[in-house]
Amino acid sequence: MTELLWDGKYKDGKKQGPVRIALPFQTIETVNESAQERQQRLEVFASGRKTGWRNRLIWGDNKYVLPSLLPEFAGRIDLIYIDPPFSTGQDFSYLATIPDYERTSQDEDAITFVKEPSILEQKAYRDTWGKGLDSYLQMMFERLTLMRELLSERGSIYVHVDWRLNAPLRLIMDEVFSPENFMCQIIWKRSSIRKAASNKWLSVDDIILVATKTREYTFNTVYIPYSEEYKKRFTEKDERGYYYWIDIGTYSEDRLAKLKAEGRVRFSKDPRAHPRFKHYLHEGKGVQPDNVWTDIVPINSQAKEDTGYDTQKPEALLDRILRASSNEGDLVLDCFSGSGTAAAVAEKLNRRWIICDLSRFAIHTARKRLLTIPGIKPFVVQNLGKYERQAWQMAEFPANGENRLEEQRQREAAYRTFVLDLYHARVVSGNGWLHGVKSGRMVYVGAVDAPVTLPDVKAIARETWKAVGGKESGISKAGADILGWEFAFELNELAKQVAAESRIDVAFKKIPREVLDKKAVDQGDIRFFELGALSLQVKQKGRDVTLSLTDFAIPIDDIPDDARKAIKHFSQLIDYWAVDWDFKNDTFHNQWQSYRTRKEPKIKMESTYTYSEPGKYLVVVKVIDILGNDTTKTVEVEIK
Ligand X SMILES: C[S@@+](CC[C@H](N)C(=O)[O-])C[C@H]1O[C@@H](n2cnc3c(N)ncnc32)[C@H](O)[C@@H]1O
Quick one: 312 or 590, whose CB is closer to ligand X?
312
Nearest residue to 146 (alpha-carbon basis) of 157, 135, 136:
157
Q: One-letter amino acid identity for 600?
A: E
The residues that bridge with 160 in the sheet, in sequence order, are 208
Task: Tell me how far, at minimum, the Cβ of 118 lies from ligand X, in Å.
Answer: 11
Task: Tell me how far, at minimum, the Cβ of 127 lies from ligand X, in Å.
Answer: 7
DSSP 273: S
Cα maximum dimension of the chain? 120
Quick one: 83 or 580, whose CB is closer to ligand X?
83
Quick one: 33 or 558, whose CB is closer to ligand X?
558
Task: Tell me how far, at minimum, the Cβ of 124 lies from ligand X, in Å.
Answer: 5
Task: Tell me how far, at minimum, the Cβ of 62 lies from ligand X, in Å.
Answer: 4
Residues 6+ apart with CB under 8 A from 77: 147, 150, 151, 152, 155, 331, 332, 333, 354
Quick one: 325 or 634, whose CB is closer to ligand X?
325
Quick one: 82 or 504, whose CB is closer to ligand X?
82
Strands of 291-435 (E only): list them.
292-293, 331-334, 352-357, 379-383, 426-427
Q: What is the spatial distance between Cα 61 and Cα 516, in angstroms, rounded to a whole number?
A: 12
Q: What is the spatial distance between Cα 42 and Cα 34, in angstroms, rounded to a whole number?
A: 12
Which residue has its beta carbon closest to ligand X?
338
Quick one: 99 or 314, whose CB is closer to ligand X?
314
- Is the distance from CB of 313 to CB of 340 less than 8 angstroms? no
Quick one: 362 or 461, whose CB is closer to ligand X?
362
Quick one: 139 or 211, whose CB is closer to ligand X?
139
Quick one: 555 or 628, whose CB is closer to ligand X?
628
Q: Around 560, how many Cα atoms within 13 Å sit in the side-chain half-sphere?
A: 11
Task: Tell me how far, at minimum, the Cβ of 542 lies from ligand X, in Å.
Answer: 45
Distance of CA 31 to the CA centre of its chain: 13
Q: What is the spatial distance between Cα 195 and Cα 539, in angstroms, rounded to a whole number?
A: 60
Q: What is the spatial distance between Cα 573 and Cα 99, in angstroms, rounded to a whole number?
A: 8
Task: Tell me how far, at minimum, the Cβ of 308 lies from ligand X, in Å.
Answer: 10
- Is the distance from CB of 448 to CB of 392 less than 8 angstroms? yes
CA torsion sign, 577 to 581 to 584 to 590? Answer: negative
The two counts, helices (H) then strands (E), for the chain are 16, 31
Q: 10 Å Cβ neighbour count for 29?
A: 19
Task: Tell me how far, at minimum, the Cβ of 206 lies from ligand X, in Å.
Answer: 10
Task: Tell me how far, at minimum, the Cβ of 317 lies from ligand X, in Å.
Answer: 9
Task: Tell me how far, at minimum, the Cβ of 627 lies from ligand X, in Å.
Answer: 15
Quick one: 355 or 480, whose CB is closer to ligand X?
355
Task: Tell me how far, at minimum, the Cβ of 87 lies from ligand X, in Å.
Answer: 8
SS3 assignment, position 141: helix
Q: What is the spatial distance between Cα 529 and Cα 558, in angstroms, rounded to a whole number?
A: 10
Q: 10 Å Cβ neighbour count for 147?
A: 24
SS3 assignment, position 442: strand
Task: Tell me how far, at minimum, the Cβ of 22 lies from ligand X, in Å.
Answer: 16
Task: Tell me how far, at minimum, the Cβ of 541 lies from ligand X, in Å.
Answer: 43
Quick one: 91 or 490, whose CB is closer to ligand X?
91
Quick one: 339 or 631, whose CB is closer to ligand X?
339
Q: What is the spatial distance between Cα 181 and Cα 458, in angstroms, rounded to a whole number?
A: 62
Task: Tell me how far, at minimum, the Cβ of 339 lies from ligand X, in Å.
Answer: 3
Q: What is the spatial distance between Cα 439 and Cα 427, in angstroms, rounded to a whole number?
A: 12
Task: Tell me how far, at minimum, the Cβ of 594 lies from ligand X, in Å.
Answer: 23
Quick one: 309 or 576, whose CB is closer to ligand X?
309
Angle (CA) 111 117 120, round 5°: 150
Residues 6+ apart with CB under 8 A from 351: 78, 79, 322, 326, 327, 328, 329, 330, 331, 332
Quick one: 85 or 601, whose CB is closer to ligand X?
85
Q: What residue ranges bind ligand X (CB under 6 A)?
A: 61-63, 83, 85, 124, 309, 311-313, 336, 338-339, 341, 356-359, 362
Task: Tell me how far, at minimum, the Cβ of 61 lies from ligand X, in Å.
Answer: 5
Contacts 24+ apart (CB under 8 A), 580-584: 580/619, 580/620, 580/622, 581/545, 581/609, 581/611, 581/617, 581/619, 582/35, 582/617, 582/618, 582/619, 583/489, 583/617, 583/618, 583/619, 583/620, 583/634, 584/38, 584/42, 584/618
SS3 assignment, position 279: strand
For the CA atoms of 302, 306, 309, 312, the dihedral, rounded to the nearest 10 degrees, stands at -110
Quick one: 331 or 422, whose CB is closer to ligand X?
331
